[in-house]
Structure 1
Amino acid sequence: MEGDPPRPPGAAVTTARDLIAAADAHSAHNYHPLPVVVATAEGAWVTDVAGRRYLDLLAGYSALNFGHRHPRLVRAAKAQLDRVTLTSRAFHHDRFAAFCERLAELCGMEMVLPMNTGAEAVETAVKTARKWGYRVKGVPAEMAKIVVVGNNFHGRTTTLISFSTDPEARADYGPYTPGFEIVPFGDLTAMRAALTENTVAVLLEPVQGEAGVIVPPAGYLPGVRELTRERNVLFVADEIQSGLGRTGRTFACEHEGVVPDVYVLGKALGGGVVPVSAVVSSAAVLGVFRPGEHGSTFGGNPLACAVALEVIAMLRTGEFQARAAELGGRLLRELGTLKGTGRVTAVRGRGLWAGVDVAPACGTGREVSERLLRRGVLVKDTHGATVRIAPPLVIAEEDLEWALGRVREVLGP
């Protein structure tokens, strides 16, 4: 990086320039990180290897809803590390029952199927819907269909990219998994037409994160809920990014009074400490599984359960949801004032989560992100012209105001 001294031969790799070069040389280039090398972090702030501090307005794509190294979550992890970390599901452990019970209660559901990553949880939801379709709904073998929506992002496994509309995520990975029909997001007419007797589920994000924080039109989620009930189809809500406080409610579906049949959770469920994901539903749905039909060595491990139990306890107070609603209102109002500057073409968001579309004259989303990086603010671009902003829910009011000042410097008049 600019300002790093040259490294003498044989010297340890410690500067940002050297660390980035080493990463480029020895890791696959499946990401294009911004040129910052984080060494330590706490709350909403991170510090790089040179000691410069940055305000994190990405929060690990919502995995860090409670900030970096939240004391309650670190204590829970440390305490569990002194007891037991892994048993596999071959045996019971003493944190598993409480985790499942309390997560089901938080969701207003009955059963939990724990996994590790978000993509694993979505894959599990796909398998759940198909098995339910065959065993409960009576769909003929191999005929199950799942309806999804355009511009979705549910992960990058072979099956999940099979119904992606993003060429970068999908290209060169075929042949693709069949059994999915894609309709436009927000279009109830198209959704109604796509549902058939063989449809087992509708899978969608209540707010589309990777697409640029796309909020559905009013009435869309209730309309999907009504259609799925009418047609005996499962409504599967992928709340991996939108859930657990991010939008100002525990779940984004709550903004329109919708309760899906299945929640898919991840990211913030692990508190930014360990990967934790889950599919949460009724006994009538998750009860279709029998021993040996699905599993995960690490899914529901003691360390994951200990951290997730603390996450659930923190969410039960409602303070983080309220904070996201209050600070999110301020964030969206301030960003909204930029729309008349000629540098911003659109602002979307819900809670403490926003997508800002930058005008071509202002550069790409990547270039805007780099300008903010130089001012001590971390954000990330998506789909070329959009910058995503998703601060940890614990961000201090004055820190958010400071960050918005830096955004105004880059995108204001």
Structure 2
Amino acid sequence: MSSAVEQRRRLVTAIPGPRSVAMQARKVATVAAGVGTGLPVYIERAAGGVLVDVDGNHLIDFGSGIAVTTVGSSAPRVVERVQAQVEEFTHTCFMVTPYEEYLAVCEKLAALTPGTHDKRSALFNSGAEAVENAVKIARVFTGRTAVVAFDHAYHGRTNLTMALTAKNMPYKQGFGPFASEVYRVPMAYPYRWVGERTRVADEAFEAFTSQVHAQVGEENVAAVIIEPIQGEGGFIVPPKGWLKRVADWCREHGIVFIADEIQTGFCRTGDWFACDHEGVVPDLITTAKGIAGGLPLAAVTGRAEIMDAVHAGGLGGTYGGNPVACAAALGAIETMEAEDLCGRAREVEALFTERLRQLAEKFDVIGEIRGRGAMLAVELVAGGGDESPNPALTSRVSAFCHQQGLVTLTAGTYGNVLRFLPPLAISDDLLHEGLDILEQAFVANA
């Protein structure tokens, strides 16, 4: 892919450099302390797989702004559509005077999301908003109130989505009480399953269904919500077929099955959506992150009879489906289609997993390699046969990568997972160079 930013790593100062240090001082003076920064390097340009900071350093991007810039920063089709839309108009509020861009995004979502049934969509600003509205829709449609979520889940930072999210720090600490009628059940997490790992699918499914039956009652459940591959929880991939069993069980009991594809959607896992890999058709699907090339946009898409159950005026928001964000989404989706980014994600997976396997052979602190497409992770452990989580090593490895100009992210309920989300516009050369740095980080720290 063509890029105005030179696609190579180049360090001209320490990381962070002096201008970033100065800007961080301004941040501390003016931005609330609760808004953290994992790597206080201030970016002024980005394209493809490279971020350029205010000191002139070129950093390799293995984070994509947490799976947002899947098509690369400033992707040409996104820029072109956004510039054209800004010249025409920036806002009217779709609920007041609508516009075609909103319709075009909903049409694309109907065509691309799993299933051939009649679909409807509603557009919002963020993933958390999409999840909140999916729950609202499910409750209206079913006339029930209970919502079931899973261990290790992450669904957002609003009050309801914090209730759905499993991890306390930093997402929930001190913010309660949370929304009621939310129930948590075990997740099929093969590496950390307390029972027999070879039977995790059966045991986890039995634990899920029996717990719902005993503690909630199927007839009281409006929705079950799950990330097909859990994101913040540590890129946990359930056993093959398990997701479909959950979806089928929901359908059997008249429960709305919500797939939270906010991090997994839009080519990230090697399919348009992670559900596609399993042949699962959700009743509702929430999307955001990669949908609009970096602009804030989110959606709930689902079966027409469910989506249309809500009364007129019950869904919406002042900025939801903003025309500029919709234009960006159309440019991003056009890029994904034209560049076969699903295929590119599978190429990234092949390159990454081969290199990560080589690392695992050298360093027994790598307990597991997992993920799909360009959504991959390694879980770090004590090593020497001890599978205890190793968050300290995870932090050291990530910090080393940052100092060498490689943007990496951590994750996991126990803080011991390195997750990799490179933009699909990144070159193989940059991927290899980034993985070389990762290996150096293990040599220096493991």
Q: TM-score, normalised by structure 2?
A: 0.85
Contact 1:40 1:46 in 2 (8 A): yes
CA 1:14–1:318: 2 relative to 1, 3 Å? closer
Q: 2:306 aligns with which of 270, 278, 285?
A: 285
Contact 1:360 1:385 in 2 (8 A): no
Query: Is 1:22 aligned with 2:26?
Result: yes
Any idea what the Cα deviations from partners look like across 1:313-359, whole Å, max 9, x if unmatched?
33344710000012212212211222231342222111111122234
Any idea what the Cα deviations from partners look like across 1:373-400, whole Å, max 9, x if unmatched?
1222110122422211110011111111
Structure 1: segments with no counterpart, 5+ residues: 5-12
Give the aligned partner of residue 316 of structure 2.
295
Question: Shift in Å at residue 297 of structure 1?
Answer: 0.7
Query: Is 1:212 aligned with 2:218?
Result: no
Contact 1:366 1:380 in 2 (8 A): no
Contact 1:250 1:315 in 2 (8 A): no
Structure 2: segments with no counterpart, 5+ residues: 1-11, 189-203, 384-389
Look up the SS of the partner of 1:404 in the other structure. helix
What is the distance in 2 between the residues matched to 1:99 and 1:353? 24
What is the distance in 2 between the residues matched to 1:146 and 1:204? 11
CA 1:321–1:3: 2 relative to 1, 3 Å? closer
Query: Is 1:95 aligned with 2:95?
Result: no
Contact 1:15 1:49 in 2 (8 A): yes
- Give the aligned residue type for 1:163: L
What is the distance in 2 between the residues matched to 1:198 and 1:359? 40
What is the distance in 2 between the residues matched to 1:46 and 1:163? 33
Give the aligned partner of residue 177 of structure 1.
179
Look up the SS of the partner of 1:82 in the other structure. helix
- Give the aligned residue type for 1:276: L
> Pairwise mapping of residues 162-311 of structure 1 onto structure 2 (< 5 A)?
162-168=163-169, 169-186=171-188, 187-193=204-210, 194=212, 196-272=218-294, 274-311=295-332
What is the distance in 1 between the residues matched to 2:205 and 2:232? 22
Calculate the aligned-residue CA RMSD, in Å.
2.0
Number of equivalenced pairs = 395
What is the distance in 1 between the residues matched to 2:253 and 2:73? 44
What is the distance in 2 between the residues matched to 1:200 and 1:191? 16
Question: Shift in Å at residue 164 of structure 1?
Answer: 2.5
Contact 1:106 1:316 in 2 (8 A): no
What is the distance in 2 between the residues matched to 1:29 and 1:366? 21
Give the aligned partner of residue 411 of structure 1.
442
Give the aligned partner of residue 348 of structure 2.
327
- Give the aligned residue type for 1:188: F
Q: 2:82 aligns with which of 77, 101, 104?
A: 77
- Give the aligned residue type for 2:347: E
- Give the aligned residue type for 2:187: F
What is the distance in 2 between the residues matched to 1:105 and 1:178? 35
Give the aligned partner of residue 114 of structure 1.
123
CA 1:14–1:374: 2 relative to 1, 3 Å? closer
- Give the aligned residue type for 2:405: G
Question: Shift in Å at residue 127 of structure 1?
Answer: 0.6
Look up the SS of the partner of 1:278 in the other structure. strand
Query: Is 1:314 aligned with 2:335?
Result: yes
Query: Is 1:124 aligned with 2:133?
Result: yes
What is the distance in 1 between the residues matched to 2:156 and 2:54? 31
Q: 1:51 aligns with which of 30, 47, 56?
A: 56
Any idea what the Cα deviations from partners look like across 1:282-341, whole Å, max 9, x if unmatched?
110100122222221111121122111222333344710000012212212211222231
Contact 2:122 2:315 in 1 (8 A): no
Look up the SS of the partner of 1:85 in the other structure. coil
Q: 2:396 aligns with which of 344, 359, 367?
A: 367
Q: TM-score, normalised by structure 1?
A: 0.91
Contact 1:338 1:408 in 2 (8 A): yes
Question: Shift in Å at residue 14 of structure 1?
Answer: 7.5
- Give the aligned residue type for 2:21: R
Look up the SS of the partner of 1:171 in the other structure. coil
Give the aligned partner of residue 9 of structure 1.
none
What is the distance in 2 between the residues matched to 1:201 and 1:43? 38
What is the distance in 1 between the residues matched to 2:271 and 2:64? 17
Question: Shift in Å at residue 191 of structure 1?
Answer: 2.3
- Give the aligned residue type for 1:104: A
What is the distance in 2 between the residues matched to 1:212 and 1:342? 19
What is the distance in 1 between the residues matched to 2:18 and 2:106? 43
What is the distance in 1 between the residues matched to 2:350 and 2:38? 29
Give the aligned partner of residue 105 of structure 1.
111
Question: Shift in Å at residue 234 of structure 1?
Answer: 1.1
Give the aligned partner of residue 200 of structure 2.
none
Look up the SS of the partner of 2:296 in the other structure. coil
